[in-house]
Amino acid sequence: MRSFQSQPEQGVGEPRVKRPAEERGRIVMREGKPRPLFFTGKRPKRDRHSRRKVSFFHFRNYEPAFKYFTEQVLDADFVPTPTPTRATIKRGEEMSADYVCTPFKHIIGDYAAALEQGADVLVQVTGFCRLNYYGELQEMILRDAGYTDFQMLNFSYVASGKMRDYIAYCKKVVNPNLSVAHGVKNLLGAYRMVEHIDAFRDRYLANAGFEVEPGSFQRVRKEFISSMNAAKTNSDIEDGFRRSMDALDALATKKPADPVRVGIVGEYYTAQDPTSCLNLEQKLLDMGVELSNAMSISAFNLHFNIDAAQASISEYSTYDMGPTSTFNIAAAKRYAEAGYDGIVHIKSAGCTPEIDVMPVLQRLSRDYHVPVLFLTFDTQTSDAGLDTRLEAFYDMIAMKKVR
């Protein structure tokens, strides 16, 4: 290795000695530390060991999209959140106040598990209700509990909603060398992956209850999630989605001409996350129903037109009651008009906006003669109680359909 000698001090009044051309721009020693002779305009990039390790909370089957966003947009390492267990939920419950809504307890339990897996950046999204304040509160609770070596990428801090502000925030917290052009391009890929995950789920719910070979739909769904997890480019996403949809359509089913149809509406997190609603979707599919879940990131975050939805339910609700209220009322009305045999409304304990929605859904039920089952979930809800209510609801709508 070439060594560098420190240069003698230039005396006052002595003629300046011109350096040889081969030494110009080299690194020289100053007080024992190497430094460039001039600023090149480029700052040193982080080495592999300084890359941030990013984790999201566990949410339905969106983990591949979270992984793609972390690796391809943020250029960081993704730390998958362990599959929630009863112990995870119990820990989240112990770290939370009793009156806080159930998703808060699930999410903070996931965060604690992610930190123990080595994550040093936790992502919290913004919201339309108290969720908007949860990220800051969860960070305080985690630090008080002894988890100090992490940062929170809390998008509630970006109030402008402008892309450049989100990018600046991600550069500040996660990766100062983030490429804006590369990040924006791959962000569109993450959006497409979310849309594909939702489209696959919709096709799955409509047909999985009538499979001929037990477990065949679950197998294809696992293969689809694996293909999305392995995706590195936009073309990987598109190819994996097409193959999985073709495989899903090729599965044998024994679906009747007029099956029992059930639509699901409800609070954003609980209506989507299987852990939070005790795998309610699969329980209904096992009964042999055609299922539809209105709530998804695509339907609510990417493509929802609140003005059109509010106009469609003007006879039931004059004003928007916040978060997902207008969305759920409009979705329930569409299910009723389409002749669905039953509607299930899901909410977490203490969710005020969805409590306000319930009287409107009761009126819809009377006007369209469609039964509505109201389910509330907290950390103490049991499978046995849920199974009993679902079985009674299915028997009622199946007998009504026969009549």
Question: What is the rounded distance in angstroms from the CA atom of residue 248 to the CA atom of residue 221?
Answer: 8
Tokens of 377: 């979930």
Q: Which residues of the chain register pLDDT less than 50?
A: 1-14, 17, 21-33, 35-49
- Give the pLDDT confidence score for residue 19 in this predicted structure: 52
Distant-in-sequence contacts of 354-358, Cβ < 8 A, 24+ apart: 354/266, 354/267, 354/323, 354/324, 354/325, 354/328, 356/321, 356/322, 356/325, 357/321, 357/325, 357/328, 357/329
Q: What is the pLDDT of residues 57-87, one digit of tens each?
A: 989 999 999 999 999 999 999 999 988 888 9
Name the residue among 341, 359, 355 with its Cα closest to residue 267: 355
pTM of the predicted model as reported, rounded to 2 decimal places: 0.85
Q: CA 21 → CA 25, 30, 111, distances in Å? A: 9, 20, 56
The helix/strand/coil state of 265 is strand
CA neighbor of 82 nearest in space, from 48, 46, 49, 55: 55
3-state secondary structure of 77: strand
DSSP of 31-72, one letter per residue? Answer: TTEEE-SS--S-PPPP-GGG--EEE----TT-HHHHHHIIII
Sheet strands side by side (includes 121-124): 77-78, 53-55, 121-124, 151-154
Nearest in space to 72 (alpha carbons), one of 160, 181, 152, 149: 181
For residue 45, what pLDDT is reported?
46
Look-up of token digits 């928007």: 320
Report the 10 Å Cβ neighbour count for 3.
5
CB atoms within 10 A of CB 213: 10
**Token digits of residue 290:** 């055609």
List the end-to-end C-alpha distance of the chain, in Å, as a whole number.
89
Distance CA 107, CA 145 (A): 15
Q: Give the separation between CA 249 and CA 76, rounded to whole angstroms.
A: 36
Instruction: Report the alpha-carbon distance of residue 306 to residue 180 in Å, rounded.
Output: 31
The length of the chain, given as a count of residues:
403
